[in-house]
């Protein structure tokens, strides 16, 4: 039987959402979840979460001051789970809060928050960074933009989810802006790391040794080391699909152009991810940029 009056609910229990479920259950928090994937449903049940069969049913299980975490892929899915035919918003009550974790355009975050406000539902703009392992152990980053009173209301939960909480401002949308800036640099760094690994290979260098040097020298980047270690070992099992940074870099470039800025690298990185997608690497980890650049280089 589905639990009533859970203080936290999660829609979307993929790599990041599922890791948050496990983290919260380990720390003793009752959690109710909703996901359309039967495999993800079973994983959540195995972690000890309760299961709702629709977003509105999940909302009915949320306590009066509870927090609903939206952890889906994009803005369209976020709108659907909140305001669609079985959306959670219609079943939520004044005093409850939605926390938006997907990487989406700032204007989409603002639109979703504006749809919640007339219902008396608060909104925390809270993009995540760090990957599933860090979400699982509570060390991921959260970029928080919301009224300070709302952040204080949910401080205990936020502390469990993240040891790296950055309060950006009290303006919803600034979390999304910060995440796009971060992810554009992550995309640029990853394209650069894959490029130099292919170059090292063409120069006859040992790739693990070359990466050892880079990691202790001026070329080091976290995402470059993390992804290229896996790529060199031939491990392209998706932790973060190519499509995610493809989306994020595209949104970041769009935001830059809307602000009147056109940098030399962002659009090139976004193009690289789009071409890797077109080359058939969509189902692989974004470390597969190494494969794409090997193919592209002839």
Residues 172, 175, 177, CA angle at the centre, nearest 5°? 105
Q: Does residue 283 have a pLDDT over 50?
A: yes
Task: Name the burial class of residue 3, with classes exposed (0-12), middle (13-18) and buried (19+) by CB atoms within 10 angstroms of its CB.
Answer: middle
The residue range of the domain holding 269 is 177-296
Whether residues 270 and 162 fall in one domain: no
Q: Does residue 4 have a pLDDT over 70?
A: no
Strand 50-51 and strand 122-125: the pairing is unpaired
- The last residue of a domain, from among 111, 146, 171: 171
Mean pLDDT throughout 291-296? Answer: 93
Strand 50-51 and strand 62-70: the pairing is unpaired
Which of 287, 73, 72 minimizes the C-alpha distance to 186?
287
What average pLDDT does the structure give for the chain? 95
Q: What is the pLDDT of residue 265?
A: 97
Task: Give me the CATH number covering residue 194.
Answer: 1.10.1040.10
Q: What is the pLDDT of residue 149?
A: 97
Whether residues 18 and 125 fall in one domain: yes
Whether residues 285 and 193 fall in one domain: yes
The 10s digit of each residue's pLDDT in 149-191 is 999 999 999 999 999 999 999 999 999 999 999 999 999 999 9
The 10s digit of each residue's pLDDT in 242-267 is 999 999 999 999 999 999 999 999 99
pTM for the predicted model, two decimal places: 0.92
Does the residue 40 lie in any domain?
yes
Spot the catalytic one: 179, 227, 241, 250.
179
Q: What is the pLDDT of residue 151?
A: 97
Count structural domains, the chain. 2
Q: What is the pLDDT of residue 155?
A: 97
Does the residue 1 lie in any domain?
no
The 10s digit of each residue's pLDDT in 94-148 is 999 999 999 999 999 999 999 999 999 999 999 999 889 999 999 999 999 999 9
Q: Which residue has the tokens 């599933």?
A: 132
Whether residues 166 and 210 fall in one domain: no
pLDDT level of residue 226 (50, 70, 90 thresholds): very high
Q: What is the pLDDT of residue 128?
A: 96
Respond yes or no: is residue 179 known to be catalytic.
Answer: yes
Helix spans in 97-221 (H): 106-116, 132-137, 148-153, 155-161, 174-202, 207-215
Strand 50-51 and strand 31-34: the pairing is parallel
DSSP letter at 117 equals G
Whether residues 141 and 194 fall in one domain: no
Whether residues 121 and 223 fall in one domain: no
């Amino acid at each position: 039987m589905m639990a009533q009056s859970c203080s936290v609910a999660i829609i979307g229990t993929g790599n990041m959402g599922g890791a948050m479920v496990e983290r919260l259950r380990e720390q003793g928090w009752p959690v109710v979840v909703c996901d359309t994937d039967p495999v993800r449903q079973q994983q959540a049940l195995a972690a000890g979460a309760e299961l709702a069969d629709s977003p509105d049913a999940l909302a009915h299980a949320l306590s009066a001051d509870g927090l609903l975490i939206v952890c889906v892929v994009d803005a369209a899915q976020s709108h659907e789970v909140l305001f669609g035919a079985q959306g959670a918003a219609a079943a939520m009550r004044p005093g409850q809060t939605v926390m938006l974790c997907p990487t989406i355009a700032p204007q989409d975050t603002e639109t979703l928050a504006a749809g919640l406000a007339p219902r008396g539902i608060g909104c925390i703009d809270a993009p995540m960074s760090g990957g599933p392992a860090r979400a699982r152990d509570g060390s991921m980053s959260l970029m928080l933009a919301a009224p300070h009173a709302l952040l204080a209301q949910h401080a205990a939960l936020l502390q469990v989810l993240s040891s790296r909480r950055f309060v950006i401002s009290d303006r919803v949308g600034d979390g999304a802006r910060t995440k796009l800036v971060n992810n554009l640099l992550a995309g640029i760094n990853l394209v650069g790391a894959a490029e130099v690994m292919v170059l090292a290979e063409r120069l006859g260098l040992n790739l693990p040794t070359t990466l050892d040097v880079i990691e202790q020298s001026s070329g080091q980047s976290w995402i470059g080391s993390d992804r290229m270690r896996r790529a060199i070992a031939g491990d392209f099992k998706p932790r973060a699909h190519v499509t995610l940074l493809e989306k994020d870099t595209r949104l970041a470039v769009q935001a830059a152009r809307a602000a009147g800025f056109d940098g030399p690298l962002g659009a090139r990185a976004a193009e690289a991810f789009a071409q890797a997608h077109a080359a058939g690497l969509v189902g692989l980890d974004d470390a597969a940029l190494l494969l794409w650049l090997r193919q592209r280089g002839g």
